[in-house]
Structure 1
Amino acid sequence: MSELQSNRRRQAQKELGLTDEHEEAQIERAMKQEEERKKKKELRRMEIEESSSYRATQTIAKWMDKYFIDPILGFILPAGTGDALTSLFVIPYIYVAACKVRSFPLTLAVIFNVLRDVAIGLIPLWIGDIVDVFNRSYVQNARLIVGFVEDDKEIIEEVNRKAFWTGVLILIFCAIIYLLVRLAVQIVEWIGSFF
């Protein structure tokens, strides 16, 4: 009965010139386009989540930060070697952020997190390795990527809002890493001069 009333109401509005068929068609097209957009977005999300690179980011985060492989390698390997080695594990994160998610701000955030991790790990006398236990850059990167893939508005908005300053901080951390490596080389040369 409500459908009959709805049809009668539409007919009465049409007779009075209160409805516009063209407008209704536009609304219907817009609704179909939105529905198609949502389907495409869901398919893309599923495609990313099923990719080996996305799964690798989750596995790397678990091993490097939750099982503390990152700081352990920093303790075991010679100064800076552990950090250089573990920073290679960021490649899947950068690939997912840049090629799968296709987000420049997310890619900047991932790069910033790993550079911060490297800079912390390069602090001499195992201080950096101790601090590295609490840094957990791989878990942070995994959280950001999952947020983008699952369309978490808060994470996306935060990363996008901070993109410019993240780029600036990347440059600063590159300079800090350069200075820390130079310092480490000078210390090794100084120690070597005694032998």
Structure 2
Amino acid sequence: MLVANAGVGIPEDLGMLSDEEIEQAVRINLLAPAALARAAGAPMKQRGRGHIVFISSGAGLIATPGNGTVYTATKWGLRGLGLALRQELHGTGVRVSTIFPGPVRDAGMLADTGVALPRGFGTSSPEDVARAVADAVERDKPETTVAPAGIRLLAGVGAVAPVLIGKLARLAGVGRVRDEMLGRA
């Protein structure tokens, strides 16, 4: 089994980033998981079994003012990689799942900055994410979202009406979170 969990959070606006910072984010968040999946997938196919798990982000499901543009783009790319690879490997015995954690307490950008989420937006624990990975592998689930109800609601709205997400997220104060991370609040 491969669990590709490396990632770098980049809350900055696109115009604030250098070409090198953009390239680094794409390398770490998208190209590295693809290379790892390619390397691990070949022997899994030969054995006729295995599971590749990509750890993405809630930003891979919805674009909000609370996540940086490049970070969001790489996480959407990881979703596409997971879904396409699952189809490519169909019938080989190798399964592919993508996990979409919302904010995780004691880990990631929020923990690093100490910024509080808007009221009504909770966090998940690292153990919640680990349980979601185990469940996705056991039940061969293509995608799993790990987040409290408020964030899952936004993701659901984003799936059917993506234009509403920015408005709803701004009303909820999600942009403030990023502004605080960037020292603009």
TM-score (structure 2 length as normaliser): 0.29
User: Of the two structures, which has the highest relative contact order with CA contacts closer than 8 Å and spacing of 6 or more?
Assistant: 2
TM-score (structure 1 length as normaliser): 0.28
In terms of fraction of residues, the more helix-rich structure is 1
